[in-house]
Each structure stands twice: as structure tokens, then as C-alpha cells.
Structure 1
Amino acid sequence: MAFTIYHNPRCGTSRNVLAALREAGHEPQVIEYLKTPPSRETLESLIARAGQGARGLLRAKEPLVKDLGLDAEGVTDAQIIEAMMAHPILINRPIVVGPGGVRLCRPSETVAELLDS
């Protein structure tokens, strides 16, 4: 089973999920998305496969969300994706891709859903 984690090493939840994957015997591909942001095509695919829409993968606590007006009613997925492309810090983490699908693993225990599938 191959796993990929979109990871921020400064995030405790992201570190916990990476540790859980490794403890389960997996060595995932680690993508530090702030250093290597996903392409638009990859980001759109992650959003579609996660099934939560762009807002579901938006890091709502990031002050830039309010600054850019992304918390307003009527903001479209296309607008959120455009903002994520310009400011990868807006992408919530960790996102894990595995044989069982794509999940935003927040809280970190959510990774169990992918490990069990």
C-alpha cells in the first residue's frame, strides 16, 4: 500500500499523522506542500477525491482567509482554489492519499480510516 502525505513539519497534527503511518508500517511519500505546492490539477483532484469541496480543505483558522474574504457567503470553490494556488498556507493539513481514498486527517485519528481500508 502506498501513501502520500501533504505535510507541514511545523504542525503537530501533521507530525502525529506521519508518525501513525510509519507506526503502521508504511513509509509514505512526504510532500512538504509549503515548499512544493501541488499543481492546480493535483489540488483539484485532492479536493474532488476528499469529497468536501474546496472549503473542506481550506485552513479556516489561517488569518489570510478573513483578509481575502474567503469566509464570506457565496465564495466559490474556484475562488478558494485560486487563493490556495497563490497562498499554499491556505491548504489545510495533513492531507493523506492512500488506497482507501483521500482524507484531511484532522484530527489525527482520522488517518485510521485510511489505514483500515
Structure 2
Amino acid sequence: MTVLVTGGCGYIGAHVVHALHQAGERVVVVDDLSYGKPARIEGARLYGIDIAAPGAGDRLAEILNAEDVDSVIHFAARKQVGESVEKPLWYYQQNINGMLNVLTGMTQSK
């Protein structure tokens, strides 16, 4: 099985990537690296993508197909409290559009 983990270079995502590796699963990570660290993903394939950006759903569909992904675990989201209070609409756009692009990619893939 191949699992795509969005936000896989972040703290929680990296722990899930590690657990999946331990279970013998193949892992592909999508992360914009705004807070995540590539060294955390133990050699998983990394795609540096902002999932909230226009066109990200199409790009995710391409990755899902190219990597023969069977399942998706979605951790990519903005979560800084202070920043979210300062820019609530931007946070909404980032987190909702990111999720919509993940769903778009999943529905457009094979």
C-alpha cells in the first residue's frame, strides 16, 4: 500500500510517516515546508507543494496517480494561534482551500 501524507514533514505528520514506515508501508509526503523539516520523513518521497494554492488539486491528482497512492492522511494546515488571530480570513482560506484541493485531487485521480 502507498500512503500520501500531507503535512508529513511537520511534528505530528512525521510521527505518522515513521509509524507507516515501521508498518512496511510506502509513504509519499506533500508539504510546503513552511514549518516542516524534510529530515523528519526518513527517505519518503517529498513533493514541495502549497496545497492551498490555485491548481494544487490538479497537481495532487497527478501525484496520486504517478505514485499509485491507495490512501491519504491529511495533516497540512495552518495552526499558529497568534497568526490566526491576526489574519483569520487568510487562515480560513488556507485551511479550507487546502482541504478542498486534497479532496479535488482524490476525486480526480484514478
Q: TM-score range by the shorter chain?
A: 0.3 to 0.5
TM-score, length basis structure 1: 0.40
TM-score, length basis structure 2: 0.42
